[in-house]
Amino acid sequence: MSKNWPKILVLILFLAFLVLYLAQATGYHEYDQYRRVRITQEKIKQFEADVKAGKPIDIDHYIEREDHNYHNKASEAGFKSSRFVENIFHSALDVILNIIRNLFV
């Protein structure tokens, strides 16, 4: 297993790239943006109709609030791994800067 970890890492990175590429190639993001624009245009028409009819206006009737909860096992693992990499880079940078500092002192 210890000999295969670079291959596994490359495979995981390739699969992540493939998923993101396919999402972009199929137009998922563009469709999502189109859907949001369409909903916004519908709400604008509803707002204008309510103003013409003299109805009371409340902003909550026209704005859709999207509260996303991204806290799950995958995001937690990503956060921990990014903190791990950050700590490694931080300590390596400290060592390099100390070496440079000692060269000029």
CA Rg value for the chain: 25
DSSP H helical ranges for 1-105? 5-25, 28-53, 73-104
Buried b (16+ CB within 10 A) or exposed e, 7-22: eeeeeeeeeeeeeeee
What's the pLDDT tens digit per position in 15-28? 998 888 887 777 77
DSSP 66: -
Domain boundaries, the chain: 1-67, 69-105
Confidence of residue 54 (pLDDT cuts 50, 70, 90): confident
pTM above 0.75, yes or no: no
